[in-house]
Every structure is written in structure tokens, then in C-alpha cells.
Amino acid sequence: MDEQTSNLIMKIKQLTVYTSNLEDQLEFYRDELNFNISSSGNNYFEIRAGYTRLRFELRKNATPYHIAFHIPDRKEEEAMEWLERIVPILKFNEDKIIDFPNWQARSVYFYDRDKNIMEFISRRDFKKPDSAIFNASSVIGIAEIGLVTGNIKDSFEELKMQCGLDRFDGDFERFCAIGDPSGLLITINNEKKDWFPSNDKAYSSDFKLEFEHGSKTFNLKFSNDSLVISEI
């Protein structure tokens, strides 16, 4: 990890999400994307995604998520070419690589086996690539997790009060990105907005998160549209 990455303000260390299709998801991440499986059992598996551990736990009637992975600077073309050999790319206005100039980023989107909307996001001046070749080992860490709630403002105020997180972009009506470019909670109101770029319905899917912010580490549990936050 380079000096830029080690000095980031928010870093997602572990994300736990739920799946009704554990074996299919394991096959996808292990055999198709070739992520390293760091541990597994009868009701879970965990992949190593750079500095983040992404854990899938079995749960009946689990609903989809939006999750983004950081990839190295200006590697979106290589990431897209690599992905296209494995899965279809989710396009926006026929574009396979989507530009976010206000965020200094470009992204490629795809589905996993649960129809989670997955994203590879390449930010400018974030981390220089170690290799010209792109594969799963190029992933730096998890950049974003979607948090779907009926009250964005209440969620923001709780995250700001307990963790010191700020608003990065958006508003309290439809969409608010909370955190900073190194780690974001993509908070949306699903009565007013669907997921970009596919317009899939956004579900208030439970998850657990461990993240660093400044010199502190926090556990966050999102369940039934409610946040429980504790400092480790």
C-alpha cells in the first residue's frame, strides 16, 4: 500500500452482506473473478479484496446491494476489458465506462450472481498501478456500500455525530454520499430513487461494516432501516 492510500481518511476494513445463493456466489467470486477466498464454511465465505475483507453470509430471502471496489488510477479500460471476458457490462447511454467528473472518477458496473450492482471505480491520483495487467489482485479495497433508508438526514446526522463523517455529495431528499473519496456510504431514499446505472429497485438490505476514520475504528450494523454504531 502506498503513502497516498495509507493516509486516507476513511477505510472500509470489513463488509458483511447476505446472500440466498451462497454456492453460486462462491463460484462466481472464486472461479470466475478469481478472488482469493480467505475463509469459508457451511454458511459463509470471505474474500480478500485488497485491504478489505468482504464476507457473504447465508440468509433466506436476502436482497441485492450496491458495492464498489477501488481499482488503481486510470485502469478502467483494462478493468472493462478483463470483465467483458467474464460478465456483461452494465451500460449507461451505451457507455460501458461512465465518467464522474465531479468525483474525479470513472467506473465500470456489472452484476454478480445475486444481481448485486458491483462497481469498479478508478479515481484520479488515488493509487498508481503496480502492474500493467488487471485482475482481481489489482483491487485496492472496497470504496462504497449502498445504504437504503427512508430518512437520509437522520442517517447522516447519526454518522456525523458518532463517527465524524461528512457529506461528500448529494442532498437529504434522494441521494447522499457520506464519507470521503476513500470510503463512502451511498445513501438513497428508494421511494424517490433507484440504483444507477440499471434503475434496479433499491432494497434496504442489512449489512455490517468495520471501518477506520481518522485514528478511530468503528463497527456499524444496518438492519431494518436502523443504524447501530460502536467504537472498537
Residue 176 is classified by DSSP as E
Identity of residue 174 = R
3-state secondary structure of 198: coil
Digit-coded pLDDT (tens) for 100-157: 999 999 999 999 999 999 999 999 877 777 777 899 999 999 999 999 999 999 999 9
| pTM of the shown model | 0.94
Digit-coded pLDDT (tens) for 86-103: 999 999 999 999 999 999
CATH architecture observed for domain 3-231: Roll (3.10)
Burial class (CB in 10 A: 0-12, 13-18, 19+), 116: buried
Per domain, the residue ranges of the chain are 3-231
